[in-house]
Amino acid sequence: MLIYQIILFVLLVLAITDLTVGVSNDAVNFMNPAIGSRSAKLRIIFILVSIGVLVGATFSSGMMEIARKGIFNPSNFYYHEVMLIFVAVMLTDVLLLDAYNTLGFPTSTTVSLIFELLGAAVAMAIIKIYTQADALNLYEYINTSKAMAIIAGILISIVVAFTVGAIVQWLARLLFSFHYESRMKYFGSIFGGLSIAVIIYFMLIKGMKGASFLTEANQAWLKANTWNIILYSFVGFSILFQTLYWLFKINVLKIIVLVGTVSLAMAFAGNDLVNFIGVPMAGLSSYEIFSASGASDPMAFTMDGLAKPVHANTYLLLFAGLVMVLSLWLSKKARRVVKTSVDLSRQDEGHERFGSSLMARQIVRFGVSMSQSFGGIVPNSVKKKIDKQFKPRVYTDMPVEERPAFDLLRASISLMVASILIALGTSLKLPLSTTYVTFMVAMATSFSDRSWGRESAVYRITGVLSIIGGWFVTALFAFIICAIILVIIYFGGLIAILGLLLLIGFLFVRSSIKSRKSKVDFYEHQVAVSNSFTEETKIKIGELSVSIAESLTDSLRGLCSFKLKKLKKLNKKAHEIDTVTEDYKSQIYATLSKTGISFEHSGVFYVQMIDRLRGAAVSLKFITEPSFQHVNNNHKELTPAQTDDLQKILGPLEFYFIELNALINKNTFEDIDKLNELHENLIQVIQNVRLNQVKRIRGKNDPTRSSILIINLLQETQNLLNEMHKMLEAYIGFRNSF
């Protein structure tokens, strides 16, 4: 029995880890509207969400049944086989969800768990069929209808959520516009009452239906009086909101967003996240059933007992909720997932995380064509009125660091639509995915708000398509990986389980360390203004200059010494610098717009400065990559004469960059004449070295390939120096313009 006690301990450890990675991914579902609209300070949002998660943790034990009998028929599996299925599921779930969190991709935690159960059960069934003489047919082991319902749920969730979300948001914006404050005086209380009534309906249908502390009589009363509760809520809250507005000028939309956020947090904790303890608890039940039976052979004892209904322990659910709350506060990965959703739905343009794809370009072309065709039918007077309602607000009346990614009206609509769709889907027993609904509603509302303009649509659509594709990949990968892990631990036993646990633990810790080192800011696309912006620019320029200088000199040294690992690392670093400068360049317009800098004065120098840095980064890449490829392809090493030539450049090169960075950091430019002289002398040294190299080529004294390489490197080094020198001139103009 010792091996099964060890397995139970492993399941406990994995349950805590799985709760951590689960809440990190699902955080996007209930935090996106509140964070994106800046309905409250981040700390307040986290506190409210924590309360919602803790309360919601006691509301359900639904996945307990799915883990025990929803995917496979436990009566056809032996105790030993069931325990291995549960271990394989938990190992896979931690690995898969952590990978999605690291990428910042929201996915369905329920779908991953169900397909992991399916993959492990199918693998175990196939093993039984080939190793046991009395084995049954595959379909007798597996509940395939559940898996098909989940796949259908993905498609239903995507289409229904996006369509309904887009229509409701369009109508709401048409009614209230982006300047909704004046109309909220008259309709805000009714809108608020309706919103809270919808949220209460959502909580009654989706949340409390499985609460561990409610008796059957309580639940029957709630079901019988649902519509009365909703009606009284609508009337009561409408009166309350109108009174609060008259007396205190309370912003109803903020209340809606915060209450909706708490309700979603409660529902997700109760129906999705706490589900992760379903598999470990099923393992504990299996252990108790086997121990109580008095049976001695775990390879012959069938698990009929798992088919009986189970009610979750409230204290265990509260413990799970506490683990989730701690994860929310401490996890950088949760913030990365939320940031992906906020960036895809933000109102303004700027840096786009995703690139362009063929399908996205085709969708945009089709959308533009349809818009033009429809525009020809609608009268111009009607179009002007509609366009006026959809003219976005420019937040010039508040500091940049306080500007929201989207407004409170959209956040309220997102919460209302997501809540009612999830509640209706649950009451009608439709297999809607809560993750998919909330994400697609967020995307639909941003689409209707015209956030996906001609400048950003192709990138936003690519991002959405990438995440939707990831949802289907989740199911496929969960099935395949879990099946493979099940086979490994079936034949490898306890050693294989511990080995996989250590491997997954190592990968989890490594990704967590990387996440802590990386800066994750929900509003990374927004920058400070005035003096703080100039200081930020100085730091940004200074850091890039140092990185470029170090990469350049280290690459030349690495080529001289023929160090492959060093050159490989430097080549990767050069590509990272290239990406950073490309991002800065793509954000120029948004940066200048948000900081209020004049395009005619400081803005001109800022654009020139970023352009020159971009040019230097490109030249650096053309130096590091050929150097790495030369050594990686095992070409001939440089001759002593070639090495000596490069060494002549390195000293003056390093001295030049020391002086350049000193000027940037000091903000005093009295020594610019000295730097100009260093620059001219260095260019002359490079030209002399290049002339020597040409002479040796004519004399056929050096290998042709390395000679061509050095000539190209010398030219790119000269280009890089020229770009950096012109960058400094633009930086001086930028600083002097304030």
pLDDT in tens, 89-138: 989 988 888 887 777 777 777 778 888 888 998 999 999 998 888 888 87
| Per-residue model confidence (pLDDT) at position 432 | 64
CA distance 59 to 49: 15
* Token pair for 688: 């002399």
What's the pLDDT at 530? 41
Q: What fold is seen in the domain 530-736?
A: Methane Monooxygenase Hydroxylase; Chain G, domain 1 (1.20.58)
Tokens 């290049």 label which residue? 690
d(CA 265, CA 260): 8
Name the amino acid, one letter, at 93: D
Mean pLDDT of 77-81: 87
Measuring CA to CA, which residue among 173, 187, 588 is closest to residue 393? Answer: 173
Burial profile 368-377: b = 16 or more Cβ within 10 angstroms, e = fewer: eeeeeeeeee
DSSP at 72: B
Give the number of other Cβ atoms within 10 Å of residue 456's Cβ. 16
Q: What is the mean pLDDT of residues 476-485?
A: 92
Across-strand partners of 78?
302
- The C-alpha atoms of residue 81 and residue 66 are separated, in whole angstroms, by 17
DSSP assignment of 439-478, as one string? HHHHHHHHHHTT-S-TTTHHHHHHHHHHHHHHHHHHHHHH
DSSP 207-252: IGGG-TT--HHHHHHHHHTHHHHHHHHHHHHHHHHHHHHHHH---H
> Residue 524: what pLDDT?
42
The pLDDT of residue 481 is 93
Q: What is the pLDDT of residue 490?
A: 92
User: pLDDT at position 671, please?
Assistant: 74
Closest listed residue to residue 461, CA positions, set 586, 354, 385, 620: 354
Instruction: Say how far apart CA 408 and CA 80 lie, in whole Å.
Output: 53
Helix, strand or coil, per DSSP, at residue 107:
coil
d(CA 556, CA 624): 8
Query: In whole angstroms, what is the distance from residue 184 CA to residue 186 CA?
Result: 5
Residue 298's pLDDT is what?
Answer: 83
Structure tokens at 60: 């359900």
The pLDDT score that the predictor gives to residue 124 is 92
Distance CA 256, CA 195 (A): 7
- Judge whether 587 and 350 are in contact, CB under 8 Å: yes
pLDDT of residue 523 exceeding 50, the answer is: no
Helices vs. strands in the chain: H and E counts, helices first: 26, 0
Cβ-based neighbour number of residue 156 at 10 Å: 18
CB proximity list for 561: less than 8 A, separation 6 or greater: none
Q: Where are the alpha helices (DSSP H) in 524-639?
A: 530-561, 564-586, 588-595, 602-632
Rounded to whole angstroms, the Cα distance separating 591 from 525 reads 8
Asked if residue 610 lies in contact with residue 727, where contact means CB atoms within 8 angstroms, the answer is no
Q: DSSP 3-state assignment of 296?
A: coil
Distance CA 320, CA 324 (A): 6
> pLDDT tier at 527 (50, 70, 90 boundaries)?
very low
pLDDT at 715: 92
Q: pLDDT tens-digit profile of 311-359?
A: 566 677 778 788 888 877 777 666 767 777 777 777 776 666 677 778 8
Report the alpha-carbon distance of residue 53 to residue 60 in Å, rounded.
Answer: 12
pLDDT, the chain, mean: 80
Burial class (CB in 10 A: 0-12, 13-18, 19+), 169: buried
Distance CA 738, CA 729 (A): 15
Structure tokens at 552: 């350049």
Assign 265 to helix, strand or coil. Answer: helix
Most confident option among 29-38, 174-183, 320-329, 541-550: 541-550
Query: b vs e for 378-414, b when ≥16 Cβ sit within 10 Å of the residue's Cβ?
Result: eeeeeeeeeeeeeebeeeeeeebeebbbbbbbbbbbb
The confidence score (pLDDT) of residue 557 equals 92
For the beta carbon of residue 299, count every other beta carbon within 10 angstroms. 8
Q: What is the pLDDT of residues 169-182, one digit of tens each?
A: 999 888 888 888 87
Task: Give domain limits for the chain.
Answer: 2-517, 530-736
Contact criterion met (CB below 8 Å) for 76 and 302? yes
In tens, the pLDDT along 562-604 reads: 888 999 999 999 998 988 888 788 777 666 666 656 555 677 8
Helix, coil or strand: residue 355: coil
| pTM greater than 0.75 (yes/no) | no
Q: Which of 89, 187, 81, 197 is nearest to 132 (CA)?
A: 81
Give the CA dihedral 495, 499, 501, 507, nearest 10 degrees. Answer: 180
Q: DSSP per residue over 532-547, as a string?
A: HHHHHHHHHHHHHHHH
CA angle, 234 as apex, 231 and 237 as ends, to 5°? 140
Rounded CA separation 360/436 (Å): 20
Most confident of 77-86, 597-606, 691-700: 77-86
Residue 249: left (phi > 0), alpha (psi -120 to 50), or beta? left
pLDDT tops 70 at residue 270:
no
Going from the C-alpha of 55 to that of each of 65, 329, 341, 405, the distances in angstroms are 21, 17, 25, 29
Please tell me the least confidently modeled range out of 43-52, 57-66, 136-145: 57-66
User: Secondary structure of the chain: what % helix, strand, coil (to 5)?
Assistant: 80, 0, 20
Across 480-498, average pLDDT: 91
Look at 334 and 390; give whichever has higher pLDDT. 390
Position with higher pLDDT, 51 vs 278: 51
Instruction: Pick 722 or 246 by higher pLDDT.
Output: 722
